[in-house]
């Protein structure tokens, strides 16, 4: 049986609360009949507005990060428990921009994953290689290592609250996109990694998204691949019509 598609938007550092509510207001009627899961990942300051705006719809709300401690002297950070108390359901962890610009490592990603699961959140876990690593032929090793470390201490039962997003760093915000075959190859490798950790049954049910510049024009081809179960969408998620077109591609895949 085919896994359910999940289309998640990552708004990154865009939109104030008023703009966030307006964007969701435009999006709601466009995805009201979607069969796939639809998620918007918004900046921290937009979470209250987004949670209010999605009421009466099937759109879920994700935060873009969380800290691994419940509380403490961590100026500027937000805990998973804080997110859960607001009604947030999902959190994006390990995005390449967090790893590249803000010091996230494989170990801190693992700690954030653990904290999010303990708080009852569903995790969108990002893994992916840089262009130099792809050119060196170590894409498989990099993605498998990131996956294994991030899932350290995660039980088989908890994998139902893990969505993995394969994000080739060289294709994020660059306009470059992995071919459908390249995307599927790495998603399949990640699934094999999960199988090695938890067995084939868990691996077969794990949702693995592609997250490298998926847009309205290439979504159908990418989502037709057997191991691509959705998308973590950047720029196109800020355009309701484009994001809805990707959702439609998932529904028709």
Residues 135-147, buried b or exposed e (16+ Cβ, 10 A)? eeeebbebbbebb
Write the DSSP string, 102-136: S---HHHHHHHHHHHHHTTPEEEEEE---HHHHHT
1 within some domain: no
Range of the domain at 62: 6-252
Share of residues in the chain with pLDDT > 70 (%): 100
Rounded CA gap, 106 and 238, in Å?
Answer: 29
97 within some domain: yes
177 within some domain: yes
Q: What single DSSP character describes residue 1?
A: -
Share of residues in the chain with pLDDT > 90 (%): 92
pLDDT at 180 over 80: yes
Q: Which is more confident, 191 or 170?
A: 191
**Is residue 67 annotated as a catalytic residue, yes or no?**
no
Confidence bin at 212 (pLDDT 50/70/90): confident
- Whole-number pLDDT of residue 177: 73
34 within some domain: yes
Report the candidate in 52, 77, 53 with the shortest Cα–Cα distance to residue 66: 77
This prediction has a pTM of 0.96
Could you give the number of structural domains in the chain? 1
119 within some domain: yes
pLDDT at 82 over 90: yes
Annotated catalytic residue: which of 67, 81, 95, 129?
95
32 within some domain: yes
Annotated catalytic residue: which of 81, 97, 129, 167?
167
Provide the CATH number for the domain around residue 109: 3.20.20.70
**Is residue 95 annotated as a catalytic residue, yes or no?**
yes
């Amino acid at each position: 049986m085919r896994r359910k598609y999940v289309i998640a938007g990552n708004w990154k550092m865009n939109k104030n609360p008023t703009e966030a509510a307006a964007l969701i207001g435009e999006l709601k009627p466009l995805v009201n009949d979607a069969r796939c899961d639809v998620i918007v990942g918004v900046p921290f300051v937009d979470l209250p507005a987004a949670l209010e705006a999605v009421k009466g719809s099937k759109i879920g709300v994700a935060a873009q990060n969380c800290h691994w401690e419940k509380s403490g002297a961590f100026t500027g950070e937000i805990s998973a428990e804080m997110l859960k108390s607001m009604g947030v359901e999902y959190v994006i962890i390990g995005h390449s921009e967090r790893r590249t610009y803000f010091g996230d490592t494989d170990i801190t990603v693992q700690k954030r994953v653990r904290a999010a699961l303990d708080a009852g959140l569903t995790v969108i876990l990002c893994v992916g290689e840089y262009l130099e690593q792809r050119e060196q032929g170590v894409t498989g090793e990099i993605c498998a290592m990131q996956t294994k470390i991030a899932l350290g201490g995660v039980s088989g039962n908890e994998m139902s609250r893990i969505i993995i997003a394969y994000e080739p760093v060289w294709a994020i915000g660059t306009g470059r996109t992995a071919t459908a075959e390249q995307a599927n190859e790495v998603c399949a490798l990640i699934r094999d990694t999960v199988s090695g950790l938890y067995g084939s049954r868990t691996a077969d049910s794990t949702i693995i998204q592609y997250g490298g510049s998926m847009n309205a024009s290439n979504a159908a081809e990418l989502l037709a691949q057997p191991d691509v179960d959705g998308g973590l969408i950047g720029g196109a998620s800020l355009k309701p019509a484009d994001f809805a077109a990707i959702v439609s591609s998932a529904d028709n895949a």
